[in-house]
Every structure is written in C-alpha cells, then in structure tokens.
Structure 1
Amino acid sequence: IDVVKQVLECMATVKMLVTSRAALDLRAEWSFPLAGLGYRRPQDDADPDHLHRQDAITLFAARAQRVRPAFNLEQEFPHVLRICELVDGLPLSIELAATWVRTLPCAVIAQELARSYELLNVSTLDMPPRHRTLGAVFEESWQRLDAIEQDALCALTCFHQTFSAQAALAVSGASLAVLSGLVDKSLVRLLPSGRYLLHEMLRQFLEEKLAEDAVAAARVTARFIDYYSRLLAQHCDALNGMEQRAALQTLLPEIEHLRRAWHLAVTHGDVAAIDRAAPALQALYFVRSTFREGEAMFAPAAAALAEVAAPVAPAYPLRLKLQLIHAFFLNLLQRHDEAIPLARDVLEAAEAENDTTLVVMAQLEWGNGLSLQGHHEQAIARLRLAAEQAAMVRADALRARALFAMCRNLRLQGRHNEASAGLTEALTLYQRLGMSLHQAFVLQKLGSAAEYQELFELAVAYLEQALGLFRQLGDDARARSTFLQLGHVYDAMGEYCRAQACFVQAAEDGEHNEDVRNLMTNQLFRATYLVHLGAYDEARQLVNETVQLARRIGHRSAVGETLCLRGMIECHGGAYTAALATFEEALAVSRESGAHLVEAPAHWGLGLARFGLDRLDEAAADLERARMRFRDSGRVVRALEADALLARVALAQGHTQQALAAVDRILAVLQHRSLHGVLDPAAVYLCCHLVLAAVADPRAGQVLVDGYQLLMTQAATIDDDATRACFLHQHVSNRALLALWDQPDVPSRPVGVAARLNPPVSTGPNLAGLTFH
C-alpha cells in the first residue's frame, strides 16, 4: 500500500489496476468488487450452445478435461452447475473441485461439497502451497484479522442465508465499523438488497474455528435465539392487524433464521425464548396458510417440553400451550382425530392446574375439532362453554374465535338468527382488538349467511368489505377466495359476466394455499357456475373431484351439498335412476351429519328424480317436504322451485286446482321478489307456463314472456359468444324455454309479442322435438 501511495503522490496522472482482498482506503481509489464467475440455470428455450458460454462452467470443463480427456459436459451439466453454485463461481474453488473429476463422478463431488469444503484441496506441485487447499486460503485471511474481527466473523456462522445488519450486530456484538471492515476485506458480501451474505465454504471454515471455543459458541447461539425470538414477538400484534403486510415484509426474508432459532431454542430448552416466540410463530404460519410447516414446527417443540416439563415444573403451562397450538394446526389440516384427544388431555391438565385461560383454549380447540367433524350439538355445547369462560376472564380474542367457530354448526342446523348474532358479536370484538384479518374472516361468513338468507345485495356488501381488508393486508390467497365467493353470489343473481370476472380474478397465479376446506368450497362454487351455464361435462368432473375431497377430509355436509349438485346434473342428462340414488345418499349424509341445511335441496332433488321416473305420489311428498323446509329456513325464493315442480306433478296427477294453487303462490312472490338464488329460473317459468296453458289461463302468455325476458337478460351478461351459446342451447331448461318460445303456434303468447324479443344470439343445435321434463 505504501508503494501505491508513493507512486500516486509522485505521478498524479498514473492509473494503477490493483487486486486486493481488502480495500486500500486511499482517496483516489475506485473499488470494483470481484464476484465469482458467471453461471446460470438453462431455460427451456435456451440456445443449445448455452453450456459453453458460461464462464464458471467453461472453466470447470476445461480443467476437468485436463485430468479426464473424455469428460462430457452435456452429460454432467446439472452436477457441474451445482458445483459452481456451491462454490459461488470462485475460480480457485472451481479449479480445485475439477481436479477430482479424475477419480469421482461430478454428482459425488457436488454431494461432498454440500457437506464440507475439505474436498477442495490438491497436491499439484506447481501450485503455491497457499493455493493448494481452500482451507489454506481461508487460514491466511483469518490470520490477518484482529481478535475482535475474528470473534465477529465467527458469530456470523449462525447465518446460513442472507442476513440484515441489525441481526449481524445483535448476534456478533460487534460495531457497524467492524462489520464494514469485514465487507472491505471481502469476507462478507453486501448484496444489492442491502442484506449480507457469508460464503458457504467460508462459513464452514469459521464454524470449525468457533467450535474450538465452547463458551463463545454458546454465547453466539444464545444471542441468535434471543434476537429472533424477540423479532417475532415484536411483530405478533402486527400479524393480526392492519400492519400485517409490513410485518411479513420484515419476517419473511428472515424465515430460515426464524426456523433455525426456533429449533435451537427447543433443542437448548430456552423456555423464555419459546414462550416469547410461540404466539407470533403460530400467527405467521396461520397468516401464510402454511399449516403443514406450522404443525411440523410445534409438534416436536411440544414433545421436547413434555420430556423436561413435568406437571410441577415452571415450564408446564408452556408445554400445554404448545400442545394446543399443535392441535390448532392439526385441526387446520383436517386431522381432527388427532387434535381432539390432544385438546382433551390438555383440558384435563389445565383444569388440574386451575389455569382458566388454558382451559378456555383447550375447550376451544376441542370444540373446533368437533365442529369441523360435523358433530354439531357436541361442538355447539363445547364452544358455547368456551365463549362463556372466555368472557369471564376477559379473553376477547378467544371468545370471538369460539363464537365464530360455533356459527358454522348453528348455520348448518338452520339456526340462522343465533349464527348471525354470534358473528356480529365476533366482528365487534375483533374490531375492538384491531384484529383485521379475523374481521375479514367474519365478514366472509356474514356474506355467506346473507347469501343463504337470499339477501344478495347485503352479501355483496359484506364480501366487498372482506375483500378490501384482505387487499389492504396483502393477503392475496384469501382475496382470491373472496373473489370466488363474490362470483358465486353474482352467479346466484344471474349476473354471469360479473361472476366470470370474479372467477378469472380468483384464478390468477398465487402461492399454494393449504386450506383444504376452502379449496373444496371454491370447487363447488365453480361447479355450480358451470351447471348454470350448461357446461355439464366440466361441472361433472369438478363435482366428482369435490366429492372425493370432501369425503377424504370427513366434511359430511359438503359431501351432501356436492351430491345434490351431482344429482341435478344427472337429472338434466335424463339419468333419473342415477340421480335418485345420488339424492338419497345426499339425504342420508345430511341426516347422519345433522346438517339440516342440505335436507331441503336433497328432498327437492328426490322429487325431481321421481317425477322424471313417473313416480308422482312419491315426488309430490318429497317436494312438499322440500317446500316446507325451505320456507321454515327463510328461503322463500328457493321454495318456489319446489312449488314449480309440485305444480307440474299435480298437473300430471290430474289435480288441476292444486297445480294452480302452487302457480299462484309462485306468481304472488314474483310480484315483489326476483328469482335470485334459484338453481334453475327457466324451469320455474316453464312449469308455471305449462300449467297455466293446460287450463287456458290467460296469464300463461305473460309468464312465458317474463321467462324469456329473464333468459335474454341473463344471456346479455355473458360476453363470450361460445359461453352464451352454451348457456342458451346446452342448458336443458333454457333450451326448452327457447324451443317453446320459437313455436309459431303458441296459443298463449300475448297478442303483438314477436317470436323473438331480440335477434338470435346463436343458431345453436337443432331444437326440434325438445320437451321439458
């Protein structure tokens, strides 16, 4: 350095190119960090010659061919690329690794390098001793450091991935000046992201140095655990609130270190750190829907504490808490048979400890497992008790979660007022606590409840609020799920263009979501939409997949709902015998699970299938049951579908007055309500028209006009020509209504009404001879 300084002082215009492991710290110095040689993974459409245009790959191949002339780069490329990745393109390391090609396959070289840097040594006589092993290179650099720099560098070995300056300073105990000096000496790399990286081979070397001082190694581990457990704890509230996006931006780059710190805390029995980190770690995995990893993290932690935290130990409550978090993730993974016994055991222990908060948590997890299994009465009793106990200890978050879980079972039992009251209170509690993510969950459920009660505009309002929250939180996966719900509501309203837009938005690429129940519900929504469009083949495939998924996870009410949709598809295809068996199974599942919500659609489907099989008396009995159950549950519009079929059955039985009475009930409701939510609106109008036309009732023509106008209005919401044609000409009821409308001699059409209110959208298939069953 002195020579360089003197030359520059004497000759101001001179330019010198200097390579050095450390910055020279001269004012005239321009620093250009030298990275390793380039390498990259080939793309599918890569140029065939790409292998020979990567410097690191080229150097390895050239050195390998010196020791093994028959070396074939094309055959060995994946392993050569891995070697270059492991040594980060460093030329000396590449040369040292390539010499082993004489005796080892490249796959073995890569495998050994991933384990240890010690493979990188040679006995070549014409290489300087300090270049014959990578360890010697590292040792020379090590000896140039002072004690403070050595200690700081050794501390950084706990970072197996990139790390922040704050983490480095906290774990090493060094100053920012020391960290900067290590960067200047090319021992630590500063990345464009502002994070730092220690070369893996150097990290392995330094790990050996650190292992020589057990006290220093223990100190580094303790600091590493402490820093990341506190980092998690600092962001716990933010993960559940409006600062979720910022919290994730901080935590996700550190995810590998968070995992390692947790494992180290468990291994070393650092109870304080585990207790500090557990709630935030649970929230992190829940927010990201990475339930499998959450279960994999907490299961061994709970087991490890179970070995050391006996009932008399101070860590015993923490052990129970970890077991409940484990049960929490087991429930999310649909492993209720494992979650329930675990929660039950914790409940017994918590009651013995007189720990009311743990008692509430255990009741909640047990009740949630029962709820998800479909044991409605047991679940409601357990969750109601949890909610009451939570209120006693003012654990508002636990009470809100108990109310939320309980609403699932209340709704399936048809107890909608209780469910809505519980959801409303849960929303208020979550708003008071600032738990935005959970507010969005409740709003989703309120949207579903409003849709079921045929309050579609209210459902849209709730779901749009939920969507807004998810977007603010940056939760793209759950935003997509909400789009699917919105699409389902618009589908029920006959606004197919909006429904399609929502489904397209929901289908955009995103991270994998492990919420199986959510996936199943979304598939059911899509299948229903396809049935409405007349795309029966696609709908059938999706329905079959959904039934299998629902059965696999034991979601019996969903099995019943999906079977009802499958039965409708079979009826529309004329397979009434198969449909009858399908609806009978749906009804049996509904009764077994106590999900009364499915009974009305199942009875309606049985009536439809038996009508198709000409079993009229049985059909009438089924349809009357469906009508009463729909009305008792407040689903007035869905009851119209039962009335419509009852009218057709009564007409076929020769009971004209009963048929007319059913039609009158329908027309009275249609004076102030739309058919939003009805599975088959065209069928309702067809049934009314056919009954009225059979008795020469003058209202028949207007009913036909109303049905045709509704059909054309719905068709106009479909932008795609092929989809619109499918809707009009493949959907059985729509096709039948069009066929009836196009008959030139329909006697009941009002005078002056043209055969077509609008020009034909598509010529479609031949409609001659079609009849409506």
Structure 2
Amino acid sequence: PPPLNPPPSRPPLRTGNLRPRLNSFVGREPELTAIRSELQGARLVTLTGPGGSGKTRLAEEAAAAAPQAWLVELAPLDDPRAVPGAVVSALDLRETVLLTNELSSSHDDPTRLLIEHCAHRSLLLILDNCEHVIDAAAELTETLLTHCPGLTILATSREPLGVPGESVRPVEPLPPDPAHRLFAERAAAVRPGFDPSQDPQAIAEICRRLDGLPLAIELAAARLRLLAPRQIADRLDDRFRLLTGGSRTVLPRQQALRAVVDWSWDLLDDRERTVLREVSVFAGGWDLEAAEAVCSPPDVADAVGSLVDKSLLIAAPGGRGVPGMRYRMLETIGEYATERAAETPALRLAAQRRHIAYVRALVEAADPMLRTGEQLPWIQRLETELDNIRAALARVTGAPDLADEETAIALTLNLGWFWWLRNYRPEGSGWAERVLVLLPDRAVPDDPADPMYWPRMNMRLLALFLTVENRPQGLVITDEERAYVERVRDAFSSPTPQGARFPGIIWPFSLFHLGGVSDARAALDSAVVNCRRFGGEWELGVTLMFRAHMAVDMHGNMRGLDDDLTEALDISRRVGDRWMRAQVCSAVGEAAMARGRFDEAKEEYEEALRLAYEVGAYAESPFLTARLAEIAYRSGDRETAEKTLDVASEEAEQYAVVDTTAFVGLLRAHLALADGEVARARDLCDGARDVSKEGTPPPQFEAALGLIDVRITAAEAGPRVGLALLLVVLRDAVAASCAEAVTASLVDAGAELMARSGDLPCAVRLFAASDVLRDVQVRPMPERAEYEAVSAGAREALGDVRYEAERAAGAALAHEEILAELASGADAA
C-alpha cells in the first residue's frame, strides 16, 4: 500500500522572474549590445547613472535573453542587513526549502543559503537600485562571486559597488533621436492620434531640457492629457511641480521627478550636500581648481569625486586645449541643486562671491596672454569658461546683493580684447552697456583725482569701441552725445600711459563717431608717438598696423606705409600674436592690391587667412576670403572667384559679419554686369547697399559701391545719366578722404563714360588726371583693359599730337576742374 505521508514533489524548475513589459523599449541598441557582450566576459557589470536614466529597464532588456535571469529589487529596503534576504526571496529559496524539506544548518543564514544554491548553477542576478544599501550590496556581491563560479551579477546603482573585477558602464542620457521617439510613443499612449510633426521644435526642447532622461520624458508625455507640447516646454522652469503623475504601479519615487532626485539627495552626507549646493553657482561646467576656489569644505576634491560616483555630477575630459577633467550637472540636477541652495541663502551668496572672484582672477590672468604666442590655450580656456563668465557678469551687473561697479568694470575691461578678437562684439557691447548703467551719469564731469576716474574712462572708451561695430554710422546724433564722446577722446588723446594700453590705444577711432574722419591720420600719428613713449611692443605694433591700414584707405598715396608695415611685422613676430600678424599681412595685401601686384597680395592674404583661422578671428576671415575672390576676379579666373565668393558668403553669414556680406554682394554685382545681366547686377547692388546699412562700412566701400552703381546706371539709362551719378559719388569720396586709388578709379569710370558719349578728348584728359592721382600705381584689371582700349581708339581718332596735348592738359587738372569735366558730359536731368 502507498505510504500515508508521501514526500512532496519538487517544484517545477523556474528560469527567472523577469516580467513581460507592457510598453515598448525605445533606443539604447548600442548599449544593449555592449552590455550583453560584456556579460560574456565580466562576472560583475554595474550600470550607473542618475535617477530616471533608465538603468533598471536597460538591465532587464539586456538580461532578457539569459536562460536564468533573476531580478532583485532593493529599492524597498530600509535596512542594509535585509539585502541577502531580499535576494533569497527573489529566488524563491525559502519556498523551495519548505517544499523539498531541504533542511540544513544554513537555512537560517541567507548568505549561506545563497552560496549553497548558486554554487553549482549558472545564473544571472540583477541587483537593482543598490545605492542606498551600497555597502551591504557590495559585500554580498563579492561573497557570492567568490564562492559561485557560475554566477554573473548585473547591478544598477547611482554609484559603483567598488568590488574587485567590477566593470562599470555609465548609462548616458538618450540622444535626441531616440528621446524624441520615446516622447512620441508615450504621447500616443495618452493621447491617441498624437502627431509629433505638428510641433517638433517643442518636443526637441522638452527632450533637451530634460537631459534625455527617460523617466522625465515619460512624465512629460503623460502631461499631454492636459497640455500641448509647447505649453509643457514653456513650463519646464518649474519642472518639479509639472512632472508628476507617473504610473501608479511603480515605486512612489518614480511617480514624480522631484521624488527621483530627492532619493539621491537623501543619500548624501552633509559635506556632499554643501558642495552640491555650492557648485550650483557654476554655469556650463567647471574644473577641480574652480571647485576648490568656490566651495567651502576643505576636502572638495573628495566630495566632487563622491558626487561623480553617485551620478549627481558628470565628469568628462576637458577636450581640445583644455587639460584635466571638467564637471557639470544635468539641467534637472542643476535646477534641483539651485533650489536646495536657496534654502541656505548665506551659503549661496558666499559661493557666488567666490565664483565672481574666481572668474575675475581668470580673466585678469588671461587678458595679457591673449596678445602673446601663448594665446591659443588661453583663448580656449576663456571659450570653455564662457558660461561662467556670463554668470559672473550677470551677477555683478544685476543681482541686488552682488552688483559692484569696480568688479564689473574689471571683468569687462579684461574681456574686451577677447570679445573683439573672437567676434563676440555684439555680446560684448551688450555687457558694456549694462556696466555703463552702474557708472555715474555721463553728463556729470569726472574728477581725475577719483581712483575710479581711469577705470570709468577706459570702460566708456571700450563701450564706444564695441558699439561702433554694432550700430550704423551716424551714432552721434545729439549735442549731448557729441560732448560725451569728445570728453572721452580728450582723456586719452594727450600724452599719457593710459593712452598707450588697450583700450586707450583705440581713442583715434572715436573720430568716426564724431565724423572727423579726415583727422584720423593725425590722431594715429599722435597715438604712435604716445605708444613709443609709454607703451609695450604689442601696443606699438597694433597702432602702427592701424596707421598702415589708414594709409591704404585714406588719401596721401600711402606715405610712410612701408616703414610702418616693416616695423609692425617685426614686432608681431617677436610678440607672437597671430591676430596682429594676420592684420599686418592683410595691410600688406591691401597695399599690394592698390599697386596692382596681385601675386604678392594673394600670398599675403593667404597667410593672413591662415593666421586668422588659427587664432579663431572669425570676424576677419570672411573678408580675407572675399579679397582672395576679388584677386581671382581681377586676374581673370572667374571660376575660382565665384567659388571663393561662395565660401566668403557662407562664413560671413555664419559669423554675422555684415560688412563682408555687403562686400560679397558688391563683387557679385561686378560679375553679373560683366556677363551683361544688368537687372541681376542692379538687384545685387541694391542688396549690398541695404546690407551695408546694418553695419559700419568704411568710406572706401561706399565709394566702391557707388562705382558699380554708376556702371549699372549707365548700362540701364546711358552714359550721361551714369556721369550725373558719378559726380555725386566722386564728391562724397573726396570729402571722406578716400585713397587716391579709389578716387582715380572713379575718374577712370568717368573717362570711359565720356568716351561712350563720344567726347574722346575729355576721356583722354580724365585718364591723364587719373594717372596723376595714382602716382606710380598700376591700374588693376578690368579697368586697365578699358583704359588701353579707349586710349588706343582716342590716339587713332585724334592723332598723336592732339592726343598728347589733351593728356598734358588733363595732367594739370585740379580737383574742381575734374568735376567740371565730368559735369560737362552729365545729363542735367
């Protein structure tokens, strides 16, 4: 007969406890492949990352194909001693012991029970959310791996376990494309028929500002029951109140974004909380030196390392030109840390003051180095710290408890050259305007005995210097403004050390505000003398370079130009400043262009462009490229000219260099007119004029634009109408003190139009007058071809004697007589 009490049968073999998911898994394909591959070789793989980054879901997906995968949820535990028991429960070992009557001395010791169970099995154990019981989880992990050779553990935690042999894989935020897909899929679940193409910009903003955190994105998508994507994006400044109401079946801390971050905050000690509050004053990232300057605990490096381990800070190499590691917070963590810092106002205010002091020390150290051969790493350093620089400027110019005139001036003056060099001129002008608000009323005379006299004057001059780049000509429009600019100019124009350093060396350019362009050469002569007396080599070299550019652009047939260029070039090589050398090469190129030496000009412009790219002087590079296009055009290489103009146009648009955009339009108008496309040339000319009004075009550009306008007008309405316009353009060019090469080109145009009107004797006289203006300079192409064709025809028509007589008469013409000659052929209408 059968026994009265048969032994219980063994339970069926289970292959794991992973639950089927009710929604899709989006993205992470590369991570999944990498984790599965790593689990083939490493026995402990830990996925780390901030709360909401999707570590748990990623671990489950990676383990889904394993034959024996068991998930152990540690998040509900509040006692580290319960960790081994939680693993026992997840594996159902207590039930197995009871059913099989496998009683032994170890069944009351969960760790021993786990060793006995796992020692001869091949299992994958997922220890999920280890951070709050990290020590206990690490101890159990090491014990089990030591005694169970077939066991593999995949852990998720906000910090590594620190067990020998551990392979740590940070779980990064979702890239934009899978983040957008996740939002769209979850959105469709709560709002059937949702079409993400209706507002892709809002969805992109949501995903970006939520740092690509899957939990935050899913919580945002759940809000589509009530709000449109744009409304959600606009409310993300208050994300912790907005992003609530997740799934009721998940842990409470996963139902709201704040609860997720609260969980991490609660695991920090007081030192870590202090440092997290204090680093919230940074913007865009920081390095360890900056953290040590701003944070108050004595062991900042250890605290920063701990916060990195706990996934509240992100550490990454500084990148090209930035040595060491840099740290940052996800926007969500940063907003949370800022809120926590607001709970301790005194602590935050002190950290902000130390942050301002750190930024000030940085820019004061960097400023002189920007003018040396060591400029490149310092430029990169300032570029890297731009967000922190902006934050410091915003505080000293606007925060009630931090606004400070002296500090604001010091920051701005030490950043002025960086802004100019790296084409942050509009931004620099904006900051300068904010600082000027802190200064006394500009209508009140300054006291030279006041210690703040020179800082304020430097600040005002720098503001004028930056503003002239960003406001159209005619800046000075009232008597009050004129008096103000004259007062600033007068402070620097007399011999003084302040006028021999930046920004003082640029005082001559205040004349452009005042309309006294004709006095600029004398002002630069005075500035050079002052720099030789009080300035350093860089200041002297830059002033010589400015004077050389002025000699090319203004009347005087470039007197003294070559001596200035030779000295400035020598100085630039000794100093090592690539920007200065690029500017000197550019001036050499312009002089060669004016003299018709295109090969030399091309070589100099190419060297200037190389140096400009190297130093990142992106305001200069588009113009240099356009000049190379002009050389190709004047050399007859039409294909190269057009391709190079395309490059110059793209760069000018990219870097918002308005004057170059206008210059490119002018050159394109020349090309169109040469092709006989008069209507297109007109459109290009008018477009160039419109664009130029947005910038600060020099007088020689206005003359060049007037010249192409004259040629187009003549093609549209005949030479006599073109001559009438030419009279106006030439008068303006002379009044603006344009270089003789410029006015000679206008006279040449008049000669060609006179020839087309049938007045060959007048054409010969005007060409001869132009020769006198040019002195020994050679006409460029295509003007030279026009001159040769008209002259040959005139000589044949008039005969040698008459031709030479007209040339002699033309060579003796004064300025007003040249205008009279042009007027004789102009249409009075």
- Helix, strand or coil at the partner of 1:31: strand
User: In proportion to residue count, which structure has more helix?
Assistant: 1
Would you say the 8 A contact 1:624–1:642 is kept in 2? no
Would you say the 8 A contact 1:240–1:283 is kept in 2? no
Residue 231 of structure 1, CA deviation: 2.9
The aligned counterpart of 1:385 is 526
Would you say the 8 A contact 2:500–2:539 is kept in 1? no
Would you say the 8 A contact 2:710–2:723 is kept in 1? yes
1:353-502 alignment, distance < 5 Å: 356-358=497-499, 364-371=505-512, 375-411=516-552, 412-475=554-617, 478-494=620-636, 499=641, 502=644
- Note the alpha carbon deviations across 1:251-270, whole angstroms, 9 max, x for none: 32332222112222334245
Give the AA of the match of 1:593: A
1:248 aligns with 2:373: no
Task: Tell which structure's C-alpha radius of gyration is larger.
Answer: 2
Q: Structure 1's 536 and 639: CA in aligned 2 closer, same or farther, altered over 3 A?
A: same
- Note the alpha carbon deviations across 1:665-696, whole angstroms, 9 max, x for none: xxxxxxxxxxxxxxxxxxxxxxxxxxxxxxxx
- Note the alpha carbon deviations across 1:552-594, whole angstroms, 9 max, x for none: 6464332222222333455567832332233222222223323
The aligned counterpart of 1:567 is 710
1:268-279 alignment, distance < 5 Å: 268-269=402-403, 274=408, 277-279=411-413
The aligned counterpart of 1:625 is 769
The aligned counterpart of 1:582 is 725
Residue 170 of structure 1, CA deviation: 3.6
- Helix, strand or coil at the partner of 2:164: coil
Residue 179 of structure 1, CA deviation: 1.8
The aligned counterpart of 2:302 is 177
1:141 aligns with 2:283: no
- Helix, strand or coil at the partner of 1:304: coil
Residue 318 of structure 1, CA deviation: 1.9
Mapped to 2, the partners of 1:468 and 1:73 lie a distance apart of 45
Would you say the 8 A contact 2:462–2:503 is kept in 1? no
1:40 to 171, 177, 180: 177
The alignment's TM-score, normalised by the length of structure 1, stands at 0.73
2:751 to 607, 610, 614: 607
1:207 aligns with 2:348: no
1:220 to 342, 351, 366: 351
1:190 aligns with 2:315: yes
Would you say the 8 A contact 2:396–2:403 is kept in 1? yes
1:103 to 211, 226, 230: 226
- Note the alpha carbon deviations across 1:281-337, whole angstroms, 9 max, x for none: 222221222321111122212322447997465334222222211111112235554
Residue 508 of structure 1, CA deviation: 6.1
Q: Structure 1's 109 and 529: CA in aligned 2 closer, same or farther, altered over 3 A?
A: closer
Mapped to 2, the partners of 1:72 and 1:531 lie a distance apart of 50
The aligned counterpart of 2:184 is 57
Q: Which runs of 5+ in 2 are unaligned?
A: 1-136, 320-324, 809-829
The aligned counterpart of 1:714 is none
The aligned counterpart of 1:648 is 793
Residue 14 of structure 1, CA deviation: 1.4
Give the AA of the match of 1:648: G
The aligned counterpart of 1:292 is 426
Identical columns (%): 22
Give the AA of the match of 2:185: T
The alignment's TM-score, normalised by the length of structure 2, stands at 0.69
The aligned counterpart of 2:469 is 332
- Helix, strand or coil at the partner of 2:169: coil
1:93 aligns with 2:216: yes
Q: Structure 1's 84 and 616: CA in aligned 2 closer, same or farther, altered over 3 A?
A: closer
- Helix, strand or coil at the partner of 1:232: helix
Residue 380 of structure 1, CA deviation: 2.0
1:738-757 alignment, distance < 5 Å: none
Q: Structure 1's 15 and 644: CA in aligned 2 closer, same or farther, altered over 3 A?
A: closer
Residue 224 of structure 1, CA deviation: 1.9
Mapped to 2, the partners of 1:447 and 1:432 lie a distance apart of 21
1:282 to 416, 421, 424: 416
Give the AA of the match of 2:769: R
Would you say the 8 A contact 2:612–2:618 is kept in 1? yes
Q: Which runs of 5+ in 1 are unaligned?
A: 43-50, 665-773
Give the AA of the match of 1:293: E
- Helix, strand or coil at the partner of 1:467: helix
The aligned counterpart of 2:284 is 161
The aligned counterpart of 1:8 is 145
1:320 to 444, 449, 457: 457
1:20 aligns with 2:157: yes
Q: Structure 1's 290 and 530: CA in aligned 2 closer, same or farther, altered over 3 A?
A: farther
The aligned counterpart of 1:754 is none
Mapped to 2, the partners of 1:443 and 1:374 lie a distance apart of 28
The aligned counterpart of 2:68 is none
Mapped to 1, the partners of 2:417 and 2:302 lie a distance apart of 36
Residue 440 of structure 1, CA deviation: 1.2
Residue 403 of structure 1, CA deviation: 3.5
The aligned counterpart of 1:593 is 736
Would you say the 8 A contact 2:747–2:766 is kept in 1? yes
Residue 112 of structure 1, CA deviation: 1.3
Q: Structure 1's 603 and 478: CA in aligned 2 closer, same or farther, altered over 3 A?
A: closer
- Note the alpha carbon deviations across 1:105-130, whole angstroms, 9 max, x for none: 33222211134422223498666544
Would you say the 8 A contact 2:525–2:547 is kept in 1? yes
Would you say the 8 A contact 2:700–2:738 is kept in 1? yes
- Helix, strand or coil at the partner of 1:421: helix
More deviation in 579-588 or 148-157? 579-588
Give the AA of the match of 2:350: R
Would you say the 8 A contact 1:131–1:137 is kept in 2? yes
Mapped to 2, the partners of 1:83 and 1:92 lie a distance apart of 13
Residue 501 of structure 1, CA deviation: 6.4
Q: Structure 1's 428 and 187: CA in aligned 2 closer, same or farther, altered over 3 A?
A: same
Q: Structure 1's 307 and 655: CA in aligned 2 closer, same or farther, altered over 3 A?
A: closer
Residue 465 of structure 1, CA deviation: 3.4
- Note the alpha carbon deviations across 1:640-687, whole angstroms, 9 max, x for none: 9657535534654x55532478999xxxxxxxxxxxxxxxxxxxxxxx
- RMSD over aligned Cα atoms: 4.0
- Helix, strand or coil at the partner of 1:17: strand
The aligned counterpart of 1:230 is 361
Q: Structure 1's 363 and 246: CA in aligned 2 closer, same or farther, altered over 3 A?
A: closer
Mapped to 1, the partners of 2:159 and 2:272 lie a distance apart of 14
Q: Structure 1's 656 and 17: CA in aligned 2 closer, same or farther, altered over 3 A?
A: closer
